Amino acid sequence: MINETTIREIAEKFLIAGTFHSYSLIQTGHINNTYIVEYNISGKIVPYLLQRINREVFKNADQLMANISSVTSFLRDKIIVQGGDPDRETLFVKPTYTGETYYKDASGDAWRLYNYIDNAYSPNSIENSDMFFSAGLAFGNFQNMLADFPADKLYETIPNFHNTAKRYANLCASVELDAKKRADSVRDEIAFAVNRKDDAFVLVDLIEKGVLPLRVTHNDTKLNNILFDKESNKPICIVDLDTVMPGLSLYDFGDSIRFGANNAAEDEKDVSKVSVNLELYEAFTRGYLTSAGDSLKAEEVAYMPFASKLMTFECGMRFLTDYLDGDVYFGIKYEDHNLVRCRTQFALVADIEKHYDAMLEITRKAYFDICGKTF
Ligand code: GN1
Ligand code: MG
């Protein structure tokens, strides 16, 4: 049971020149537990972000935190050189009194402390296309800033994270095992996935053939992993760096569209509300190409509509797999939550398929307008 005493004890392990003042829980994300912890530093109340890392998902806290601290130090240095504000434009890791990047409690849980970026919000939906254009700029910029980061220094913290062929195989294994006897109730969803088996192999094959290059990517580019400034409504910082690993730029692009260009929430129960918003697709594509377009290969642009579909399909498969496994991975708020999430994802896949040619045309035109290139 996590209560004030626990949080206080943990907060006091970190090298902060002040005393614990108060804490509050933030309900966000499906994976870690997040708290705002306030310290009294010479009479001033200063907030920090405390997180308990989900040890089922991230088995190796040393490697995870090594990735995050090297990437954030790299970003911090670049932001300083570029004249930005390093305290607001990147997370940074506050060490413990013993000089570690995280604190391991008596039960073996790992806790980390970050700077807290205030006057900011992480949106769960898009207000207008300018905002999604900015989101595209922000993720494209993140890709660009890390373009010369030595990728071989990063651990693959969750192996095969976006390996869609593997995700498909995992789904089949869970259907076979049927641990919770739920497979019969989701035959339509299983059939939907089986009918799209070939899609799961497309990008994996292109990596093997050397067509698509591995880059340092974020791998979880949900809109709510961007902090926007409350006053200017401009993106200031990319957060949730747990899955920063070698990956494809298309994973980041596709996952952004999956979440941000859906006309409905990820867990909307009425799937008739789910559809791809082409205006938003165009806005994000233009933002992303503006900051990252010149450093991308033409193939990485050509597959943007496909990746939007594939990342949505992957996420749907993951929710379905977890539903079949008995909801062991994603946090759920009610019994069928993962199934509801799976259905929205599959509905979005179907809608992207309907609008595929239009998305391709939008991408082609944006690439030409912004980079003067074509595919
Ligand atoms: C998880 O924790 P959160 O909500 O940012 C998941 C992503 C999924 C997402 C679906 C480490 O992200 O891969 O796309 O849920 N993160 C991990 O909402 O599995
Ligand atoms: Mg997140």
Say yes or no to pLDDT of 28 above 80: no
Measured CA angle at 312 (ends 370, 209), to 5 deg: 70
Say yes or no to pLDDT of 127 above 90: no
- Contact between 206 and 167 under an 8 Å Cβ cutoff? The reply is no
Ligand 1 pocket: which of 222, 223, 241 to mutate (most atoms within 8 A of CB): 222
234-260: per-residue pLDDT in tens?
A: 999 999 999 999 999 999 999 999 999
Say yes or no to pLDDT of 36 above 90: yes
Range 330-337 average pLDDT: 96
pLDDT band at 162 (very low <50, low <70, confident <90, very high): very high
Q: Which position has the token pair 């290969």? A: 297
Q: What mean pLDDT value characterizes the chain?
A: 95
* Token reading at 372: 């003067």
348-368: per-residue pLDDT in tens?
A: 999 999 999 999 999 999 999
pLDDT for position 1: 74
The DSSP letter of residue 369 is: H
Ligand closest to 167 (CA) is: 1
What is the rounded end-to-end Cα distance, in angstroms, of the chain? 55
- Contact between 58 and 242 under an 8 Å Cβ cutoff? The reply is yes
Contacts of 216 (CB under 8 A, 6+ apart): 71, 146, 147, 149, 151, 154, 244, 245, 246, 247
pTM (2 decimals)? 0.91
Name the architecture of domain 4-118: 2-Layer Sandwich (3.30)
Ligand closest to 242 (CA) is: 1
pLDDT for position 151: 84
CA of 240 to the centre of ligand 1 (A): 9
Range 214-224 average pLDDT: 93
CA of 330 to the centre of ligand 1 (A): 8
Q: Which position has the token pair 């994973």? A: 251
CA of 109 to the centre of ligand 1 (A): 20
164-200: per-residue pLDDT in tens?
A: 999 999 999 999 999 999 999 999 999 999 999 999 9
Residue ID of nearest Cα to ligand 1 atom 18:
30
Residue ID of nearest Cα to ligand 1 atom 10:
315
pLDDT for position 315: 98
* Angle between the N-to-C axes of helices 337-354 and 356-371, in degrees from 0 to 180, rounded to the nearest 10: 70
Ligand 1 atom at shortest distance from the alpha carbon of 266 = 18
pLDDT for position 344: 98
Domain definitions of the chain by residue range: 4-118, 129-371
Residue ID of nearest Cα to ligand 1 atom 7:
220
pLDDT for position 339: 98
pLDDT for position 328: 96
CA of 224 to the centre of ligand 2 (A): 6
39-96: per-residue pLDDT in tens?
A: 999 999 999 999 999 998 999 999 999 999 999 999 999 999 999 999 999 999 999 9
- If we measure between CA atoms, which residue out of 208, 170, 108 comes closest to residue 314? 170
CA of 297 to the centre of ligand 1 (A): 27
Protein residues with CB under 6 Å of any ligand 1 atom: 29-31, 57, 220, 222, 225, 240, 242-243, 266, 315
Environment of ion ligand 2 (residues, CB < 5 A): 29, 225, 240
Say yes or no to pLDDT of 154 above 80: yes
pLDDT for position 82: 93
pLDDT band at 31 (very low <50, low <70, confident <90, very high): confident
pLDDT for position 131: 93
CA of 347 to the centre of ligand 2 (A): 22
The DSSP letter of residue 25 is: E
pLDDT for position 2: 83
Ligand 1 atom at shortest distance from the alpha carbon of 222 = 5
CATH homologous superfamily for the domain 129-371: Aminoglycoside phosphotransferase (APH), C-terminal lobe (3.90.1200.10)
pLDDT for position 152: 83
CA of 249 to the centre of ligand 1 (A): 17
